[in-house]
Amino acid sequence: MATEGLTCPECGSSNIVDDQLYSQPQLVCEDCGSVISEGLLTTTASEEVQGTDIAYRYTTAVDKQPCRNLIKGLQRLRAFCRILRLKTDTEQMSETFYKQAYSHPHFINVSLQKKEVLVGCCVLVSCRLCNWPIGMGTICSLLEADPNLLGVVYLQMMKTLKIEAPNTAIIEMLEAHCQEYKLRPEHVSEGLSEDVKALTKRATALIELAADTWIVTGRQPVPMMIACTFLAWQSLRPTKDRLKYSVDKFCQMAKVNRNQTAPKRVMELKKVLSKLGQEIPWLRVEVTLANVMPHVDDIMENQSALLRRAMRTYEESLQDEDQPDPQEDPPGEHATLASPEGAAPCQTSRDPEHPPPAQPCLAACEPDGERAQAPSDAGPTTGTDVQQEDDDEPLDHADARPLLVPVETWSKKYLFVPPCVRHPKKRKRRAETPMPEVTGDEDISDSEIDMYIRTPQEVRDFVKTKEILSEEEEEEEEQ
């Protein structure tokens, strides 16, 4: 302790020394022995000789252990990634999002159900960032959670972590996709040019039809948009010049990159359109793949009614196959459609020679809840099953490849089913283990005989039990 410049207040001497009394420093005058100052409990940082106060969290070298719910959530997340067969990068991204969201104040004091749903949300956003086709329906089925709760947690997580996932709605991307086609009069001739708004409207209607008939399920969006744009361009003005164009030639003319899968999607859409065109009652010609384009307007106008009629006709054909020799044809259910201009009101009838009396035209068939169900009501399925690009395989069930599956499947019972059901992957048939032939004349070994012989203890227990039962019977008879 510094003593320079200090004087004793008693004698005025400057002979002052620092006297260390145990742990308490004192300033004492050597001449008179008076204590100038004592009990100085506060010092400067440079004079501090004792240890300073340190918080407990800085004195321990042990890291904070994760809680049980976080460990279980990470285990469930890894299990989901294994089920969906995600890549390692996607799985690591999901774990990172889950740890960040779990430790955030918005998800600490929430219910356990929301924390379980948070696992699916992290997997979903990682799949969308990695361009992996997984939808909310798949996550809901795996979690067995409420879709509304999943949507709320998903939006909250995106806002909390400030994640911008790409929008995968194909209809919203279609408008921007149609803008890329050079089909204006300054680019092509007048007979081949088309308005972008009309092209987008027709292509959107075809996309919706493809979604209703399961063509979009599990498919990449770009080939699907090219096919719908091409068919929309042909159907708006089905002239000879347009009908002779192929998909590749159309993309070359519109200065758009060609796609190898687009012709397959075109054929699938044409087959669906031809099936619906065959249900138009006022047509006298059979609608095929070659002449379906001029009838697309009528098909789009009566899309819902024609879908129900096509499925009803297919169900009736299956019933006819089960009953090859019916005595009477089942009475047809009459339904009217919106006929084009110049065509008389037509009724649905199975006998063209004796049509029923005319009725006012309606825009849709009569409601039929049982028969108008979509194929999705038949059983569980997901709209995101990844389907490998098949070779030129027909969609008709009669031309499908023989599969090692039962006859009563979706591909047989319903007209429109997902591609993964229509063309499932072939599975190897397991070799059946031959059943042992037992005739009753086989030799019995001594060990097998010993299995049926009672031990002495079993004999005693049996006799004792029999005596007890007999005594109880006698008591009941006496009563």
Distance CA 208, CA 250 (A): 22
Distance CA 214, CA 208 (A): 10
Place of tokens 């030799």: 443
Q: What is the DSSP string of 73-114?
A: HHHHHHHHHHHHT--HHHHHHHHHHHHHHHTSHHHHSS-HHH
Distance CA 335, CA 366 (A): 6
Place of tokens 């096919």: 227
pLDDT by position in tens, the chain (length 479): 556 667 887 787 888 877 766 566 778 887 787 777 754 444 445 555 555 555 655 555 556 677 888 888 899 899 988 888 888 899 999 999 999 888 888 888 888 888 889 999 999 999 888 878 777 878 888 888 888 888 889 888 888 888 887 766 677 778 888 888 999 988 999 889 999 999 999 999 999 999 899 898 878 888 999 999 999 999 999 999 999 999 999 999 999 998 999 999 999 999 999 999 999 999 888 999 999 999 999 999 999 999 999 999 988 888 887 775 545 444 444 444 554 544 444 443 334 344 433 333 323 333 333 333 333 333 333 333 333 344 333 333 333 344 344 434 667 788 888 887 777 777 777 767 677 777 777 777 777 777 778 888 888 898 999 999 988 888 888 87
Question: Could you tell me the two tokens for 170?
Answer: 């194909």
Among 417, 276, 308, smallest CA distance to 372 is for: 308
Domains and CATH numbers, the chain: 1-49 (2.20.25), 68-161 (1.10.472.10), 173-323+334-350+358-374+382-419 (no CATH)
Distance CA 70, CA 55 (A): 27
Distance CA 86, CA 133 (A): 11
| Backbone φ and ψ of 21, nearest 5° | -100, 100
| Backbone φ and ψ of 390, nearest 5° | -80, 160
Among 187, 163, 167, smallest CA distance to 175 is for: 167
Distance CA 121, CA 117 (A): 6
